[in-house]
Amino acid sequence: MHLFDAHAHYDDERFKSEYEGGADAALRDARRAGVEYIVNSGADIKTSEASIALADSSVGRNDVPLVYASVGIHPTETYKYENMNDALDAVRALAARGRVVAIGEIGLDYHYPDTNKDVQREYFAAQLELARELGMPVVIHDRDAHGDVYDIIKNFRDVDIMMHCYSGSAEMARQYAAWGMRFSFGGVLTYKNAQKTRESALTVPRESVLLETDAPYLAPTPHRGKINCSAYMTYTAAALASLWGVDADEAAETALCNAKAFYRI
Ligand SMILES: [Zn+2]
């Protein structure tokens, strides 16, 4: 099986404490399971730098790198920076580095009640603007903020956008798909109670569907609740395959091709 993990966080501390051998071992296991590409996502300046370091040191098959990086400031991390323009300058500089393939993850997260929504929206729009200026694709995080995400990205339909771990309605997915947007689905696709997510995955065109882990989070069934890793994508690929009525190898291959097109690898 050939797999592309469109979104993961191997710089996360959990790999040190919960995965035997740490992130290096997890990446080795991923390669063994057929994972050929991983995009490691930054969530602030520090983790964006860590993503680039991981990408630079990774070795894949036939000298093709295993890990690529996306860089950006996640909505819940915006509080860390005193001046947004300085933070954006740092993102711009990181985006110019080799093996950086996208701006992300950026977006809105209204899950926690004490969040500053105005600041989140400002960072989100400014980073979309930056992606437009740089001509780079964007990975979006949308948690409990579907309406406001929609209101902002409708002004950026010229930018290549992927909704990571898509959790909106199937109806909204159809609208986004009509705008040419992509969707990546992870372990949630295998959860019993995730009918809505499966409906979305089924409703959008197959060429817009990517697979991801969001590792170390959201491990698929039967590993739900434990640390996630790219090797478990075989379960997610199987879930997508049964929705599509194809075999798992074909579903994985389609998602891999879609991810390569989106990230321009
Ligand atoms: Zn993530």
> Could you read off the pLDDT of 30-86 as tens digits, one per residue?
999 999 999 999 999 999 999 999 999 987 666 778 999 999 999 999 999 999 999
* Number of domain units in the chain: 1
For residue 3, give every residue at least 6 positions away whose Cβ sits within 8 Å of its Cβ, in sequence order, or none.
33, 34, 35, 36, 37, 211, 230, 233, 234, 237, 252, 255, 256
pLDDT-derived band at 2, boundaries 50, 70, 90: very high
| Distance (Å) from CA 214 to ligand 1 centroid | 5
pLDDT-derived band at 210, boundaries 50, 70, 90: very high
| Distance (Å) from CA 9 to ligand 1 centroid | 6
| Distance (Å) from CA 105 to ligand 1 centroid | 7
Residue type (1 letter), 124: F
| Distance (Å) from CA 251 to ligand 1 centroid | 22
Domain at 126, CATH number: 3.20.20.140
| Distance (Å) from CA 227 to ligand 1 centroid | 14
Distance CA 143, CA 110 (A): 6
Distance CA 122, CA 147 (A): 16
User: What value does the mean pLDDT take over residues 156-182?
Assistant: 96
Predicted TM-score (pTM) of the model is 0.96
| Distance (Å) from CA 71 to ligand 1 centroid | 11
| Distance (Å) from CA 141 to ligand 1 centroid | 7
Percentage of the chain surpassing pLDDT 70?
Answer: 99
| Distance (Å) from CA 102 to ligand 1 centroid | 13
Q: What's the mean pLDDT when you consider all of the chain?
A: 96
pLDDT at position 141 is 97
pLDDT-derived band at 160, boundaries 50, 70, 90: very high
DSSP-assigned beta bridge partners for residue 43: none
Where in the sequence is the domain holding 173, given as residue range(s)?
3-263
